[in-house]
């Protein structure tokens, strides 16, 4: 964080100083919520979590070098005490970003936020120092913590914003008001909690409503619910997608034999060819979104295309492709799943697996509410339509829906199998995999199906699935 004295921080967050001998002492390090991450100069923000209460670690943090603790009660070491630690953290982030005057790029959507944020970061970094959300820390705590890592060098601040309900994005944008707001798509992620697609669109669209008139709303031209957000903003609108009228668009999209998308990138300032190092056609949309943001920030098209072509995956378990020494390819996309990303991953598997045996090891997609049965059934059917050699459905009820979809779409019943858990899937694959096979592993986060991919990569036939 930029250096601030404890007195300044207390004023910004409206807190009371307790046990602070020297209010002019400066926080010069990072703001952290995990006492193990404290370094000399840190500010330790104490949160009461489900299992541990940060307040119990106040002394440990102080002894590790924290200048003070941001806390909800006095803790016996220097502390700035506030009613609401989360609100105080947000207020601090808002003030720091305001003082720095850094341009904020915020993005949201149902799927692809982290993948796209990582692309944007890799592209913009060529242009100017960029701070961006690590992993998927996109909520009311992760977002301010990321923003607080910006320094006076930082030119671009790229922030992923997640929403589980109406008002969430509005809250986050209040902390770090964006000048560029990108909406990727409105899918069905968390639809159970939202109530329906229209509600999801309502919630995601809060991002464009807060943009200033000299800002830019970057919207997906191929997603009707995102396109329809245009009238909700005062900002200029930049459309990306494969639609003819998109300002930033892809032409001649194809998947290489390795499953990597290749296309001609068109922007208002020219065209250039791109071949991504990422797997799966769904990344075309993510790459166009990143190109649109970079274009808006003044990067030339050739530089954007080169940066996109060189960008890799920065976050784990998203179409992570590993070749085993015996020629089996493992595609670990177990970070998360929703119907859109399941379809994209299956299409990538089909492209990568041409002439090879392909395995789709799929688990439940969570939070689909009333649409759950139909969506699982449809994914099972798609696996068969794409000629995936075998669907291994892992888990309980939803897995049986996946398998039944495949069974009904297939001819012989051999296209799919249902197993109860990750260990059973690993046992099956270990006995059946042959050199040259391609295995996709994907399910919602809560299932932890990455254990299957990790066990397959671990090699040892005897190895157990690691406990989560
Ligand atoms: N444009 C896209 N359309 C559909 N699926 C996508 C897209 N981009 C990525 N995915 C897939 O969606 C899953 C989640 O990707 P990613 O982590 O980038 O999304 P996210 O929106 O950040 O998710 P979260 O809400 O968990 O933070 C991955 O399995 C990925 O393969
Ligand atoms: Mg994410």
- 143 to 9, 13, 90, 107, 133: CA distances (angstroms): 18, 17, 8, 12, 7
Residues 6+ apart with CB under 8 A from 63: none
Q: In whole angstroms, what is the distance from residue 30 CA to residue 452 CA?
A: 36
**pLDDT tier for residue 186 given thresholds of 50, 70 and 90:** very high
- pTM comes to 0.89
Give the model confidence (pLDDT) of 193-210 as tens digits. Answer: 777 888 899 999 999 999
Residue 213 Cα, ligand 1 centroid: separation in angstroms? 30
- CB of residue 112 inside a 6 A radius of ligand 1: yes
Q: Average pLDDT, stretch 19-26? A: 97
With b for 16 or more beta-carbon neighbours within 10 A and e for fewer, the 53-92 pattern comes to ebbebbeebbebebbbbbbbeebebbbbbbeebeebbbbb
* Cα 352 to middle of ligand 2, angstroms: 25
**Residues linked to residue 70 through DSSP beta bridges, in sequence order:** 45, 80
Residue 203: CB atoms within 10 Å: 21
Is the dihedral angle over the CA atoms 184, 186, 189, 194 positive or is it negative? positive
Question: For residues 304 and 269, what is the distance between their CA atoms, to the nearest angstrom?
Answer: 11
- Summary mean pLDDT of the chain: 93
**Per-residue confidence band for 464, with pLDDT thresholds at 50, 70 and 90:** very low
How far, in Å, is the centroid of ligand 2 from the Cα of 315? 9
Q: What are phi and psi of 35, to 5 degrees?
A: -60, -25
Rounded distance from Cα 113 to ligand 1 centre (Å)? 6
- CB under 8 Å to 438, separation ≥6 — which residues? 328, 329, 331, 349, 352, 353, 356, 357, 358, 359
Q: Of 1-5, 132-136, 410-414, give the lowest mean pLDDT range.
A: 410-414
Instruction: With a cut of 80, say whether residue 112 has pLDDT above it.
Output: yes
Per-residue confidence at 446, pLDDT binned at 50, 70, 90? Answer: confident
At residue 459, the pLDDT reads 52
Radius of gyration of the chain (CA): 24
Q: Dihedrals φ, ψ of 266, to 5°?
A: -110, 130
Q: Give the tens place of pLDDT for each residue, 36-83.
A: 999 999 999 999 888 899 999 999 999 999 999 999 999 999 999 999
Summarize the confidence of residues 363-374 as an average pLDDT.
91
Planar angle of CA 443, 321, 284, nearest 5 degrees: 80
Residue 259: which pLDDT band, with cuts at 50, 70 and 90?
A: confident
pLDDT digits (tens, 9 = 90+) for 246-255: 999 999 998 8
Cα–ligand 1 centroid distance for 165 (angstroms): 18
The confidence band for 318, taking pLDDT boundaries of 50, 70 and 90, is: confident
In angstroms, the CA 2 to CA 306 distance is 33
Pocket lining: 92 vs ligand 1, CB cutoff 6 Å: no
Give the integer Cα–Cα distance in Å for 399 and 43: 46
Residue 138 Cβ contacting ligand 1 at under 6 Å:
yes
What's the pLDDT tens digit per position in 287-307?
Answer: 999 999 999 999 999 999 999
Q: Ligand 1, residue 162: give the atom nearest the CA.
A: 25
Q: Which atom of ligand 1 is nearest to the CA of 334?
A: 29
**In this predicted structure, what is the pLDDT of residue 440?**
97
Give the number of the atom of ligand 1 that is nearest the alpha carbon of residue 136. Answer: 27
Residue 204 Cβ inside 6 Å of ligand 1? The answer reads: no
- Comparing 123 with 354, the larger pLDDT belongs to 123
Best of 112, 132, 338, 443 to mutate for ligand 1, by most ligand atoms within 8 A of CB? 112
Q: Are 358 and 382 in contact (CB under 8 A)?
A: no
- Mean pLDDT over 409-435 rounds to 93
């Amino acid at each position: 964080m930029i250096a601030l004295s404890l007195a300044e921080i207390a004023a910004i967050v409206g807190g009371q100083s307790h046990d602070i001998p020297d209010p002019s002492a400066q926080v010069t390090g990072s703001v952290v919520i995990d006492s193990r991450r404290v370094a000399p100069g840190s500010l330790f923000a104490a949160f009461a979590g489900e299992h541990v209460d940060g307040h119990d670690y106040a002394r440990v943090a102080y002894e590790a070098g924290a200048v003070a603790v941001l806390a909800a009660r006095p803790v016996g070491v220097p502390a700035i005490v506030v009613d609401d630690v989360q609100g105080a953290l947000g207020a601090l982030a808002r003030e720091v970003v305001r003082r720095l005057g850094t341009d904020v790029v915020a993005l949201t959507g149902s799927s692809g936020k982290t993948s796209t944020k990582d692309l944007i970061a890799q592209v913009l970094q060529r242009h100017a120092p960029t701070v961006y959300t690590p992993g998927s820390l996109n909520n009311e705590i992760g977002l301010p913590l990321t923003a607080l890592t910006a320094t006076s060098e930082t030119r671009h601040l790229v922030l992923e914003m997640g929403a589980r309900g109406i008002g969430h994005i509005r809250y986050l944008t209040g902390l770090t008001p964006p000048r560029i707001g990108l909406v990727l798509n409105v899918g069905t992620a968390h639809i159970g909690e939202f109530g329906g697609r229209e509600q999801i669109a309502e919630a995601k669209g809060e991002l464009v409503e807060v943009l200033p008139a000299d800002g830019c709303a970057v919207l997906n031209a191929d997603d009707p619910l995102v396109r329809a957000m245009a009238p909700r903003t005062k900002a200029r609108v930049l459309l990306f997608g494969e639609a003819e009228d998109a300002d930033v668009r892809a032409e001649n999209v194809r998947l290489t034999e390795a499953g990597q998308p290749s296309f001609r990138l068109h922007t208002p300032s020219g065209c250039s060819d791109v071949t991504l190092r990422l797997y799966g056609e769904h990344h075309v949309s993510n790459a166009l979104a990143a190109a649109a943001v970079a274009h808006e920030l003044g990067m030339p098209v050739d530089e954007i295309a080169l940066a996109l072509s060189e960008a890799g995956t920065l976050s784990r378990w998203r179409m992570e492709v590993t070749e085993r020494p015996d020629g089996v390819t493992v595609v670990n996309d177990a970070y998360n799943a929703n119907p859109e990303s399941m379809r994209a991953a299956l299409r990538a598997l089909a492209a990568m697996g041409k002439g090879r045996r392909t395995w789709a090891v799929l688990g439940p997609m969570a939070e689909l509410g009333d649409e759950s049965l139909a969506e699982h059934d449809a994914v099972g059917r798609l696996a068969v339509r794409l000629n995936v050699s075998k669907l291994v459905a892992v888990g309980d009820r939803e897995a049986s829906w996946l398998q039944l979809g495949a069974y009904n779409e297939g001819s012989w019943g051999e296209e799919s199998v249902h197993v109860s858990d990750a260990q059973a899937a690993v046992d099956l694959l270990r006995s059946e995999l042959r050199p040259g096979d391609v295995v996709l592993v994907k399910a919602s986060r809560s299932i932890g199906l990455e254990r299957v991919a990790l066990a397959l990569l671990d090699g040892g036939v005897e190895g157990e699935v690691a406990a989560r």
